Amino acid sequence: MTTAYAPTRVSGPPAPAPRSAAIVRPEPLLALIGLGAVAVVALWWRDTPYVAGADGWLTNAARITGLLAGYAMAVLIGLMARVPALEHGVGTDRLTRWHALGGRYVVGLAAAHVLTVVWGYSLADRIGVVDETVTMVLTFPDMLKATVAVLLLLGTGIVSARAARRRLRYETWYHLHFYTYLAAFLAFGHQLGTGAEFTGDPVARVAWYALYLGVAALVIWYRFLAPVRLSLRHRLRVAEVVREAPDVVSIHVTGRDLGRLRAEPGQFFRWRFLTRELWWSANPYSLSAAPGGTLRITVKALGDHSAALTALRPGTRVLAEGPYGALTGRLRRRDKVLLIAGGVGITPLRALFETLPGEVTLLYRARTEAGLVLKEELERIAQARGARLFFSTGPRSDAEPLFDPGVLARLAPGLKDHDVYVCGPPEMTRAAIAAVRAAGVPAGRVHHESFTF
């Protein structure tokens, strides 16, 4: 079933004020990471006058893969340090995808390093691979640390695989990833203690220390100290919990001088509610209204954490990290905008629907009428600003005709000249993006962000 509400007047409030904070764009960041990898390989090249024999080729392959694994691990941790310049410029969704891809590279490089170094040394010493493995682990300096680091990396890689993620709660998956920090610490000591590139080169040692200590400083500040600083400055507390539907609540958070947060519609925070059951977990939830005197999130009970939020009481203290995310009005390049939301993915788009200037169309898809979260609010916003609003409900199998290029072009006339924002379940997001791209919208004007882990 599809219903529509589409007044004819088109207007909108002014665009949000620009942020003064610096941002880092994806292309320069990738270029910098690539240059760092080249510099790491150059360390090996400078310290290797020649390579001879099968054992020499294998041990040098081990040196290269070990160096790159160590470098990639530092980059991997740095990408997820929640540095605002990266979160606002690159976007959390893209950083998460890069982190997942980088994790596979790190695990692959670490495994290749182990295989080639053991094989190369066994050829050089003329003993079996098993005997060489035992000798290296038990007698080489820092090899026990390196072994534990590799096992931790392999374990993290296993729990990050898609099949494993589906069986894990978000909180379990999140906390298991903290073992990556321990693996990095152990591998760092192993590389400086046994790496030929560092044992006789103080400049290389200083550079490696600078890389790892710099990343550690970012993690400590932005992931641990900044949330405490934000909490002390703003003293966030739950002001009100409003039930929007049987399994949906809106949580209003108040505090001091919230304007200094410089949060924008479309962004999210990681929220830690200081109750006995919830204090240990920080989960991402988008602002479901334009930030002002209060911050509001709207949460559907999809797991233990989100279900527990329905029992929050006013006055509960809150720790928040953020704001994060690049799904904001800053991405808009055209006067016309199409917003496509699915289920509880409406929350960041509801804030954009209220605040984006120009001609705005919102298409909201849910399985049932009750699943149209904040429906009455959306209708009031549409009427107040003269925006186009369409609702679609029904089983998932009925959604395919909706995400047809021709259908979307009729709902949003002149679709090729629109910016498109998409937020919803992965399957719907992929279908919506494919449809608008087929309708002629360039990839640079299709914006989406996902919180799937």
Query: Which tens digit of pLDDT belongs to each residue from 384-407?
Result: 999 999 998 887 766 667 788 888
When pLDDT is cut at 50, 70 and 90, the band that residue 75 belongs to is very high
Classify domain 235-324 at the CATH class level. mainly beta
pLDDT tens track for 325-360: 889 998 999 999 999 999 889 999 999 999 999 999
Is residue 453 scored above 60 in pLDDT?
Answer: no
Does 2-16+328-448 match 235-324 in CATH topology?
no
Strand-pairing partners, residue 241, are: 251
Separation between Cα atoms, residue 279 and residue 321, nearest integer Å = 14
Looking at residues 295-305, what average pLDDT do you find?
Answer: 85
Predicted pLDDT at 400: 64
Closest of 377, 436, 426 to residue 406, by C-alpha? 436
pLDDT at 438: 93
pLDDT at position 149 over 90: no
Judge contact between 323 and 262, C-beta under 8 A: yes
Contact (Cβ atoms closer than 8 angstroms) between residue 398 and residue 11? no
Burial class (CB in 10 A: 0-12, 13-18, 19+), 183: buried
Do residues 298 and 344 lie in contact, with contact meaning Cβ atoms separated by under 8 Å? Answer: yes
What is d(CA 139, CA 142) in angstroms, rounded to the nearest whole number?
9
Please state which of the four CATH numbers 3.40.50.80, 3.40.50.300, 3.50.50.60, 3.40.50.360 is assigned to the domain occupying 2-16+328-448.
3.40.50.80
How much is the pLDDT for 3? 46
Tokens of 87: 């979160």
Cβ(121)–Cβ(136) below 8 Å: yes
Element (H, E) at 447: strand 446-448
CB 246 within 8 A of CB 302: no
Domain boundaries in the chain?
Answer: 2-16+328-448, 26-230, 235-324
Task: Please provide the average confidence, as pLDDT, over all residues in the chain.
Answer: 86
Phi and psi for 5 in degrees, rounded to 5?
-135, 110
Q: How far apart are CA 96 and CA 103, in angstroms?
A: 10
pLDDT of residue 175: 66
Q: Which residue has the higher pLDDT, 43 or 22?
A: 43
Mean pLDDT, residues 363-381 taken together? 91
On the CB side of 194, how many CA atoms lie within 13 Å of its CA? Answer: 22
The average pLDDT across 14-22 equals 46
Average pLDDT, integer, range 257-283: 90
pLDDT higher than 70, residue 10: no
pTM over 0.85: no
User: How many Cβ atoms from other residues are within 10 Å of residue 376's Cβ?
Assistant: 9
* DSSP-derived 3-state class of residue 20: coil
Residue pair 109/68 in contact by the 8 Å Cβ criterion: yes
